[in-house]
Chains A and B, each alone.
Chain A
């Protein structure tokens, strides 16, 4: 084997721990140098978090945020993968869709909120749609671009073995684009998460994370603000680095053996 290209094992964990320590240090340094009503320290915020987790209301809000994220992100994955794959085999459709995405993607998803709020009413739906929109574009785009680099010999081989169009999509295109699909899904998750928090802050429906953060700000409860930010950071990191990474290593097992 030639030189190792990535860190593995304990060294990798050490790097992660160092990064967390670095962030915590900056936070705590800010807390020491600013008055506590402006920037609370880490222990105070952790205490508040432990308190909050025991409250029914906080847990319900968290669950609400997660279900909005799940619906929006789920829709985006489903349609993004579907459109991306179909674009892979229908060339004209691909160019049309790509142009449409390039135009629509330039609009920050949060800019749709006023429109959706009035069309769909005050509730879960406009938030879910904004989340779905934010995640759909990177998802569809990465799958569609990946279909272009599927090796022609892989397609020909399946056709010679008698594959139907549907079998080609499922047995050749889908596994062939899987690495890019997962990268796209991670990118899409980042977009979905940002859209969720901002839409919740803006719309203020229910007791979600974004709403709770905005409310703490309105009443100048800095401990609440920092606690919500902490929860946002922890949840996103867990979903991205643990759930999606594990999924990636499972699906792309063949690359790791």
Chain B
């Protein structure tokens, strides 16, 4: 699915969050959005998901304005978005059940998907019984089971430790390669953006504006990002992080 942002504005009352954002995102592209906290990156995802409406401009999915939430565009939240009263299996199955799949099929599919994210054997655990990493694996399974065409990731691994995060980035990368959804990834982690994304958009603070866009399409990447040191440095300095040792 193709996404277009046409001169999108978003205000919450007096607060101007996004101003004049335009961008085309092609089918199967993975675009990472990095920027300071509270700059409106998550709001962009909510606009695509249909949870919010733009105050000005248009958000188009395959040429049609986004009218409301729908299972073709799914959102993965930072954490705590699993239902604590459902087992991991039931959490994943719910994505299918809400679309009318019968319970038995949905649960069978959910078991398959939990296996895909290396959670076989944890079907009957409740979210509070497993680790944060396992919860986010479940959240990924819940997102992919509905075969979305657009995947919106709102700092999906932000609450995880560095090693767990890298393991999950690999899980995510495999799933994306296999299913080829169009992906928007909001992250605070520059390395995560470099590792996963075809394009990285660096945003200013509120109202969000693109400071610079980086193109990494068709780059071979591993967790060793030393080949991208220059870009990494540039992104960090755009975000106001010092990257040079100061000499007195």
Contacts and interface: CB of A to CB of B under 8 A. Distances in A.
Interface residues of B, number: 25
Contacts, number: 59
Given A162-B70, A257-B126, A156 B98 contact: no
Contacts of A153: 77, 80-81
- Per DSSP, chain A at the interface is helix
A246 interface: no
B163 to A, nearest CB: 25
Contacts of B70: 162
B85 interface: yes
A156 B129 CA distance: 23
Given A156-B75, A257-B126, A257-B129, A163 B98 contact: yes
Interface string A174-198: 0110100000000000000000000
A154 B83 contact: yes
B98 A161 contact: yes
Interface in B97-140: 97-99, 126, 128-129
B74 interface: yes
Contact of A160 (B69, B84, B86, B129): B69
Interface residues of A, number: 20
Given A157-B81, A176-B85, 15 more contacts: A153-B81, A156-B49, A156-B75, A156-B81, A158-B98, A159-B69, A160-B69, A160-B73, A162-B70, A163-B98, A175-B83, A175-B85, A176-B83, A178-B85, A257-B126
Interface of A: 151, 153-154, 156-163, 167, 171-172, 175-176, 178, 252, 254, 257
24 contacts: A153-B77, A153-B81, A156-B75, A157-B75, A157-B77, A158-B94, A160-B51, A160-B69, A160-B71, A161-B95, A161-B99, A161-B142, A161-B146, A162-B69, A162-B70, A162-B98, A163-B98, A171-B97, A176-B85, A252-B85, A254-B85, A254-B86, A254-B128, A257-B129
